Amino acid sequence: MCRCKGKVMVSINDHPDMRRGCEGCHFERVDIRYSAANQPQGKAEVSGEVVIMNWTPEALGMLF
């Protein structure tokens, strides 16, 4: 991903293995509610998500 010539952005569960596998890239952590998986309980739990980019958001005027 870091060697790709174009801009790449991936959103995935925040896990140390994902961060290690994408060293050298830019990371943004966000909180997300997965409501579909929590329908039986009637509430959506907050979970960590990481957005991994081979570019910095400042280059495009920020994203978050």
In this structure, is residue 31 part of a structural domain?
yes
pTM: 0.71
- Domain-embedded: residue 62: no
Residue 13 belongs to a domain: yes
d(CA 3, CA 47): 29
pLDDT digits (tens, 9 = 90+) for 19-46: 999 999 999 999 887 766 555 666 767 8
Pair 19, 11: CB distance under 8 Å = no
Q: How confident is the model at residue 50 (pLDDT cuts 50, 70, 90)?
A: very high
Residue type, 59: A
Provide the residue range defining the domain that includes 50.
9-56
Is residue 29 included in any domain, yes or no? yes
For residue 17, what is the DSSP state? H
Please, are residues 33 and 43 in contact by the beta-carbon 8 Å criterion? no
Number of Cβ within 10 Å of residue 53's Cβ equals 21
Domains contained in the chain, number: 1
- Side by side, the strands of the sheet bearing 26-33 are 9-13, 46-53, 26-33
